[in-house]
Structure 1
Amino acid sequence: MKQFIYGFLLAVQFLTRVPVSFQCPWNKQTSRWALRSYPLVGLLLGFIIVFTFYILQPHLSTWMMTVLLITLWVGLTGGLHLDGWMDVADAVGSNAPLQKKWEIMKDPHVGSFGIIALLFLLIWKTVLIYSLLNIGYGLIFSIILIMATTRLCTVILLIFLPTAKKEGLAAVWKANIERTDLLFAIVPVVIVVIYLDQFLILIPAYFLFVIFYGLWVMKAFKGINGDLLGTAIEGGELWGLMIVWIYFSFVMG
């Protein structure tokens, strides 16, 4: 139990800006539990966003609420995954050889492709959240499952894809994880699906997302790294919002 608590707190410290002042030990067991806890951290973030919505919803217009939720969404993660999204966009947009792409991703400066990619990502997330709220306030609960499942996707990618380099953060995480750890990571998502079964469509949708994203990563980069995992989270969240909007607008509508 102690290792689980340490691991969960490590995951919170790494994936969010939620203040955790406790100094957690880093070792093989705590790092494994941290990875197992990625979806659990997603649940925490999703609950914070949904709770904020229901507290402030009576006092704000739909547009103001949407902008507030997007701001909170970015603030809770400190833009960590957005940084990876921009780095990958700069690398892909360069059309450079593989080695040059890795150099671009390491560059602390953001290029034009990264800025454009960030702009469109936030615009699309904002529009989709606004559209979901217009369809029905209950669809806000989909964010809980979306945030948990996208972080489960990063665990799957880290387990089944090789890391691009032997050094780096992704390689450090991968060194301490095994395929059996995926069973622990899946549990929070399964529990949420039981209670939010109206969003069951997201499970096969994310299954496809992991497959195609993983194939693209191997073709374009020959392996995974921290920026590509961050991109999986940002792209996965956008994918989930899009799937829910399409499903409740055109299938259930």
Structure 2
Amino acid sequence: MNLLGSFVIALSMYSRIPMPQVEWTKERMRYAMCFFPIIGLISGGILILFTWAASAAGAGTVFKTLGGVAAPLLVTGGIHMDGFLDVTDARRSYGSREKKLEILKDPHTGAFAIIGLGVYLLLYGAAFSELEFEDICLLTFIFMGERALSGLSVVGFPKAKKDGLAAEFSGAAVKRTVQAVMALYLCISSAGLISVGGPVTGVACIAAAGAVFYYYYRMSMKEFGGMTGDLAGYFLQSAELALVMVLAVCRMAGLH
């Protein structure tokens, strides 16, 4: 078992963090998905560090908000946002299942993807501007938990296509091991949200994540016939936006 190689593959694929080159062997691919949520921890840590440094330097709300929105995208290189945009284009075509899957493979960006990106960033920025430092610390647990859910979908949901990144990772993974590890990440994430954010905020975040995950499953099956890598990215970005908005609502309502 080459867990270090699996770790390097996960970070090389799903982040822009510099990693040494390793061969993508079958053995290493088996457990690569187990390290996917670690990228959420790293993203959250970088976001906390940025917020702390910006506050210490006396930066204003606009600088901290825009920088905070950009930080997770810079860590991932936008790989999940790419999926969000592709799925947005496909769904707004209102075409057949086959047509939507064709759009997912199209490298060109349509008008609805651009509109979706603009609305997404505006909503994210509006919600993020309401967060206090304590809320931003909670995003570390959110980033980890949403990736654990995404990993569960990769190894557990039916696939819309036999090829593609999701099918490759799912086919190579030791599914029961990955599912057990993802469940552990979810337990840690849930415990962190409740213990640090308080029971009301924690339960609200967990419920929102579960609702988005359920919607993701139903939508993927109905409109695409299964999940793909793009749909996994769509879920991750949708869950992130939803939970940032939940944190903002809880903060404005004085619930924590």
| Amino acid paired to 2:90 | A
List per-residue Cα deviations over 1:2-23 (Å, max 9, x = no partner): 6222112211111111111x12
Contact 2:44 2:140 in 1 (8 A): yes
Quote the residue 1:51 is aligned against: 49
One-letter code aligned to 2:202: L
Can you give the 5+ residue segments of structure 2 that lack an aligned partner in the other structure? Answer: none
1:118 is the counterpart of 2:117: yes
Instruction: Indicate whether 1:28 and 2:26 are aligned.
Output: yes
CA displacement at 1:249 relative to structure 2: 2.7
Matches within 5 A, 1:179-218: 179-196=176-193, 197=195, 198=197, 200-201=202-203, 202-218=205-221
Aligned-partner Cα distance in 2 for 1:69–1:126: 8
Counterparts of 1:171 and 1:137, CA distance in 2: 38
Q: Residue 37 of structure 1 corresponds to which residue in structure 2?
A: 35
Per-residue CA deviations over 1:111-158 (Å, capped at 9, x if unaligned) read 1110001111111111111011xxx32111121012111111111111
TM-score with structure 2 setting the length:
0.90
Whether the aligned pair in 2 keeps the contact of 1:39 and 1:189 (CA below 8 Å) is: no
Quick check: 1:71 aligned with 2:73?
no
The 3 A distance-change label for structure 1 pair 72 and 251 is closer
Kept in 1: contact 2:152–2:182 (CA 8 A): no
Q: Which amino acid aligns with 2:221?
A: M
Secondary structure class of the residue paired with 2:98: helix
Alignment of 1:7-26 (within 5 A): 7-20=6-19, 22-26=20-24
| Secondary structure of the corresponding residue to residue 76 of structure 1 | helix
Per the TM alignment, residue 66 of structure 1 is displaced from its structure 2 partner at its CA by: 0.9
Letter aligned with residue 190 of structure 1: C
Q: Does the 8 A contact of 1:39 with 1:152 survive in 2? A: yes
Deviations, residues 179-237 of structure 1 (Å, cap 9, x unaligned): 33221123344335444422522223322221221111101111111111111111111
CA contact (8 A) 1:39 1:186 kept: no
Q: Distance in 2 between matches of 1:15 and 1:102?
A: 22
Assess if the C-alpha contact under 8 Å between 2:142 and 2:189 holds in 1. Answer: no
CA contact (8 A) 1:38 1:185 kept: no
Q: What does 1:73-92 align with in structure 2 at a 5 Å threshold?
A: 73-92=72-91
Aligned residue runs from structure 1 range 130-209, under 5 A: 130-132=129-131, 136-177=132-173, 178-196=175-193, 197=195, 198=197, 200-201=202-203, 202-209=205-212
Question: How far apart are 1:25 and its partner, in Å?
Answer: 2.8
Deviations 1:56-95, CA, capped at 9 Å, x for gaps? 2122111111111222222111111111111111111111
Distance 1:127 1:211 in 2: 25
| Structure 1 stretch displaced more, 191-200 or 66-75 | 191-200
Task: Please tell me whether the aligned partners of residues 149 and 189 of structure 1 are also in contact (alpha carbons under 8 angstroms).
Answer: yes
1:176 CA drift (Å): 2.0
Residues 40 and 188, structure 1, Cα contact 8 Å, conserved in 2: no
SS in 2 for 1:84: helix
The answer (yes or no) to whether the contact 2:3–2:31 under 8 Å persists in 1 is yes
**Number of equivalent positions:** 248
Residues 1:251 and 1:179: Cα distance change in structure 2 (over 3 Å)? farther
Mapped contact 1:37–1:185 kept (Cα < 8 A): no
Give me the whole-angstrom Cα distance separating, in 2, the residues matched to 1:151 and 1:118: 20
Report the counterpart of residue 238 of structure 1 in structure 2.
241
Runs of 5+ unmatched residues, structure 1 = none
Q: Distance in 2 between matches of 1:180 and 1:41?
A: 19
RMSD: 1.8
Separation (CA, whole Å) in 2 of partners of 1:104 and 1:64:
36
